[in-house]
Amino acid sequence: MNNYTKDLESTIATLSAKGKGILAADESAGTITKRFEALHISSTEDTRRAYRELLATTPGISEYIAGIILYEETLNQKASNGQLFPELLKKLGILPGIKVDKGLVLIPNTAEEQTTQGLDGLNERLAEYKAKGACFAKWRAVYHISNNTPTALALRANAEGLATYAALCQANGIVPIVEPEILIDGDHTIERCSEVTESVLHSVFHALHKHKVKLEWTILKPSMVIHGNKSTTKTTAEQVGKATVTILRRTVPAAIPTINFLSGGQTPEDATANLNAMNVLPGNPWNLSYSYARALQDYCMKTWKGDAKNVAAAQKVFLERAKLNSLASVGKYKASMETETTTA
């Protein structure tokens, strides 16, 4: 561990810089293919590379994006200039990260609750990713909300997986992103989401403590506390911000340097407004920022459409979305700024 102290300290300092966030560009080939096909874009290894290169090489993006989480395919690809993606990103002032989990599996004897696979061989894979230039990693666990879920079994199984992964990352000099995602699917209220989020985060930090994970070298990537997407009771950004910060204060130690939220099915505008609502509240001990996928990329991908002629326009849209989230991460975003954004 001591051999990697400087690496871990340097990485966390970069990723927790005020006004910067993390881009999640780690969609699996299957997931990005669905998004491409919806826009009539052919999904091949080359088009996926071209799209992710478009994101990484957007002029000025390093002002708002400190790191990019890559899918393994991208980690091993070369950009059009012949550089491997990790080398390209570092030259651009952006840290390369890597998604390391192997997806979701059902937990036996539950009502279709899930846990995450990929711990087998993870130590060896992390050493390989480190050698290829990865500075940080991501592992996602998911929780379903109903009147009876998540169960104690699902809470424990996912917390143990996240903590084991995080400990292995730090042992290999890689900063772990711990991502407990509470799914937005359902008709639950924001109050029910608050209850579940408190239980989830309490179980995660209890497990991190047991596994001796250094919180100072850890990033939390949680969901926001928000109503379900089928709920008839909607909430304002101010309500989401207050509810989320309330639960964070109850469960997340101040030693965590940065909390980078997932957008989890929200519109780009809602994800930005909700983040801003948290940052206008005084007294938060952590950096509250973003690690969005679709909420940063949606308009960009729709503008690009798989056509090289649209790269500059798509990059302009992406940069503007990143800038708005940067402003939200310091509490300086206003909804009126959206009128200045080119939306497709």
The segments of the chain whose pLDDT lies below 70 read 1-2, 339-344
pLDDT at 234: 87
CB 324 within 8 A of CB 290: no
User: How far is Cα 208 from Cα 279, in angstroms, rounded to an integer?
Assistant: 26
Q: What amino acid positions are annotated as catalytic residues?
A: 179, 221
Over its C-alpha atoms, the chain yields an Rg (Å, rounded) of 19
pLDDT at 344: 41
pLDDT at 342: 45
Q: Which has the closest alpha carbon to 165: 201, 123, 225, 133? A: 123
User: How far is Cα 200 from Cα 224, in angstroms, rounded to an integer?
Assistant: 12
Token output for 125:
């894979």
pLDDT at 177: 99
Domains of the chain and CATH, by start: 2-340 (3.20.20.70)
User: Residue 106 phi/psi, 5° resolution?
Assistant: -70, 145
pLDDT at 340: 53
pLDDT at 339: 64
Encode pLDDT of 226-270 as tens digits. Answer: 999 999 998 999 999 999 999 999 999 999 999 999 999 999 999
pLDDT at 343: 44
Please give the model's pTM, rounded to 2 decimal places.
Answer: 0.97
Contacts of 248 (CB under 8 A, 6+ apart): 201, 222, 259, 284, 286
